[in-house]
A and B are shown apart, each in its own frame.
Chain A
Amino acid sequence: MSIRVRAQESNGVINIRALMSHDMLVPEDDGGPHFIETVEIGRNGETVLTANWNYTVSRNPFVQTEIDGSAGDTVSVSWTDNKGESDSTEVEVG
């Protein structure tokens, strides 16, 4: 499992791109459905965006968004799936 995050600030706006490694199994798959239900994107410890997903989000999910902030802020991305597995990471905004 891993999450790759890029967070770049420009004019007070942080552009965030996150790529999560997860098979996102649909109900027809062996062991499915097994998918990320919730992703939380935070800045300096506060949740800014919560994503609730179905298994119809593509395998190895990618999300891009923008939030207010500055270079040097800490951006966190964490996910929880429907079987209770989770992962999280933090990056400093460039």
Chain B
Amino acid sequence: MISTKRRVFLKGTLAAGTVGVAVGAGLLAPSKLLAAWPSEAFAAEGLEAAMEAVTGSSDIADGDVTLSAPEIAENGAVVPVSIESSLDDITEMAVFVELNNQPLTAHYVLGDGAHANISGRIRMGESSNVVAAVKSGDTWYKTVQEVKVTVGGCGG
């Protein structure tokens, strides 16, 4: 009997210890966790899976996010894309290309003093919707634009 109780006690202690470590890691190093290259999100196939991996949901609301991209891109290897938002307290931004094999193209973590205004150049294998998403406070918002690609830019 005594040994049985002791086992229960130990199991309980171990479980509590695991939770404590997880919470401690989350509290002590959130920026480090955010900054780690999110390999699962990048490997996700399909827009819904990729969005869920980044934002926790594949169904996020349209919001005040400006996505500037050409309606027609002649060269899918170099498609200029800008994301901007005037929402408060933006800590993350992401760009997805729905029909690329791996939709998540870029993920940004904004620290103190960073403005929610980022431009870059991305590859698109074919005409596709491009999704720009920003995290304002605890909530993600998105906007979607279709980009028609004349010559795809993802093949070898």
Q: Interface size (B, Cβ < 8 Å)?
A: 36
Complex: chain A residue closest to B34, CB-CB: A50
From A28, A30, A32, A62, B121 is in contact (CB under 8 Å) with A62
When chains A and B are docked, how far (Å) is the Cα of A52 from the Cα of B109? 8
Complex: chain A residue closest to B84, CB-CB: A66
Contact of A51 with B106 in the complex, beta carbons under 8 Å = yes
Q: Interface size (A, Cβ < 8 Å)?
A: 32
Contact of A66 with B117 in the complex, beta carbons under 8 Å = yes
In the complex, B35 has a CB within 8 A of chain A: yes
Contact of A54 with B104 in the complex, beta carbons under 8 Å = yes
User: Do A67 and B115 form a contact, CB below 8 Å, given A28-B155, A50-B109, A54-B104?
Assistant: yes
In the complex, A85 has a CB within 8 A of chain B: no
Contact of A49 with B111 in the complex, beta carbons under 8 Å = yes
In the complex, B113 has a CB within 8 A of chain A: yes
User: Do A59 and B107 form a contact, CB below 8 Å, given A26-B123, A28-B155, A64-B120?
Assistant: no
Residues of B whose CB lies within 8 Å of any CB of A are: 34-35, 37-38, 42, 77-79, 82, 97, 100, 102, 104-115, 117-124, 153-156
